Amino acid sequence: MISNKLVANTKIVLTAVLASVFVLPPAQAQSIQGDEKPATGTTPATAVPRRYRAHPVSASARQYYALIWGVDTLSVKSAESGEIIRFAYRVLDPEKAKILNDKKNEPSLIDPGAGVKLVVPSLEKVGKLRQSSAPEAGKIYWMAFSNKGRLVKPGHRVNIVIGQFRADGLEVQ
C-alpha cells in the first residue's frame, strides 16, 4: 500500500517537471528574441536569428503577385552598408513580368515611415542599376535603389512601384 506522503511527494515532483517543460523554454526563448544578447557564452537551441524569417510576405500576397504579375520571392535588402537598397524577385511568367523589366517604367521605392522616395541611380559607365533584359521563367532579377543618407533602414516597411506594378509593405532585411 502506497503511503499518502509518497503520493504527495510524487505529485510535487511531477508538477515541477511539467512546469519546467512547459513554462521555462518559452520564457527562455522570449528573453533572447529582441536585440538583447544571450547570457555569457550560452545560446539556447530555441534561439532563431531574426534574419531567417520563413515568409516575410503573406501567403495571399504571394499568390497575388504570382497570378497577376508572374513573380514571387520578393525581397528588399539593405546592401553596401545601407547606401543601397536591393529589390529582387523571381520570374514565374515572363509575359506577365515584362512590365517590371521595361526600361520605360521608372522604378521607385517609397518609405512612408521615413518620408522618402528612392530611385534607381544611373552611373556614367554602367547605366541604370537594374536589369532590363527580357525576363525568363525561373530567373531572379534585381534593381538597386540609392539610399543616400541611409534614411531607409532594415526593419522599415517599404512600397515598390514600377509602372502599374505595386508591392506594398515589404520589409527591408
Phi/psi at 46 (nearest 5 deg)?
-85, -5
| Nearest residue to 145 via CA among 65, 69, 82 | 82
Question: Residue 134's domain is classified under what CATH number?
Answer: 2.60.40
> What's the pLDDT at 65?
87
Instruction: Classify residue 107 as exposed, middle or buried by CB count within 10 Å of its CB (0-12, 13-18, 19+).
Output: buried
Could you read off the pLDDT of 146-163 as tens digits, one per residue? Answer: 999 899 999 999 999 999
Contact 87, 145 (CB under 8 A): yes
Confidence of residue 24 (pLDDT cuts 50, 70, 90): very low
Q: Is residue 129 part of a domain?
A: yes
Could you report the per-residue pLDDT of 94-126, keeping only the tens digit for each? Answer: 999 998 888 888 999 999 988 999 988 887 766
* 143: containing domain: 59-171
76, part of any domain: yes
The number of folded domains in the chain is 1
Task: Take residue 44 and report the three cell numbers written for it.
Answer: 539556447
To the nearest whole percent, how much of the chain has pLDDT over 70? 66
Using DSSP, state whether 17 is helix, strand or coil.
helix
